[in-house]
Chains A and B, each alone.
Chain A
């Protein structure tokens, strides 16, 4: 149990660095105050936890199914692309928060967004399953465990360790009186999306070529 937590503490800065390009635009884009930002962070981390635990189950059930390099590249590439699509949706279409200038007509999208879970949760989930390399370490740890609860526990404690580093980020809410930052956050989500789209497509191409 302690093992996962220590691993989390040791890798937290790396996790933070990997998550910041997604989390910071989202927190700015929501334009909430510090307290509300902690709620959003909670949603994000909740999503991330779901991602971790899902993989813990997988790790235990199928004994490290993604051991082959090409499979891993393919799966993570696809998740990157999905993440990119959600980021574009968030930046340009999401009607729940102010859109980037209402650039695009939103009616058909409105119904779609009503059915979605909160966006920070979605981003947390997608980041949780792919973005940080330390996550792969925890994954290997968890795959060694005999019982499912041990596997889950490693991930949960790993999650707790890394989450400590996220606590200062909601302080960006101190600047929420600047409306402009909300627009900047939304547009930044789109720019980040372009990056992940590229990274995802390259990973997929790499995976396909190797396999």
Chain B
């Protein structure tokens, strides 16, 4: 019995070497498998919700992300909405837009952005829109995050 145990133990120890080798040789394919099997994604709180609509303007576009209310177990009462303006060189000196983020045909807020100073002003029309959380520089454009209440 103890001999069998020892044999199994030494086998497992040799297996550790194989695992070490497999980790490096198969890192990319194992990584892809891990992502596809688990279906994991990067949290929308980190990189913004999925893009739900794109408004084309002359020289630039406004990208509206999905409002994020995702919580650990259930949706949160307060969430975040990200809007991007891109590309950088196409942006006018003043971006002035009425946005309907929930796509109900009614404008939800009026936002004015100065891409140069990266400052924005907000006028909420829909009471769910609370305030501007911050304005950020993107690789090729600008973004603003707004805080929202759940409906």
Contact = CB atoms under 8 A, between A and B. Distances in A.
B74 A14 contact: yes
Contacts of B74: 10, 13-14
Contacts of A10: 74
A73 to B, nearest CB: 14
Interface in A3-50: 10, 13-14, 16-17
B92 interface: no
B71 interface: yes
Contacts of A13: 71-74
Give the interface residue-count category, chain B.
under 10
Contacts of A16: 73
Interface in A114-161: 133-134, 137
A142 B76 CA distance: 21
Interface in B64-113: 71-74, 76-78
Contacts of B71: 13-14, 17
A28 to B, nearest CB: 20
Contacts of A14: 71, 73-74, 76-77
14 contacts: A10-B74, A13-B71, A13-B72, A13-B73, A13-B74, A14-B71, A14-B73, A14-B74, A14-B76, A16-B73, A17-B71, A17-B72, A17-B73, A133-B78
Given A17-B72, A134-B77, 12 more contacts: A10-B74, A13-B71, A13-B72, A13-B74, A14-B73, A14-B74, A14-B76, A16-B73, A17-B71, A17-B73, A133-B77, A133-B78
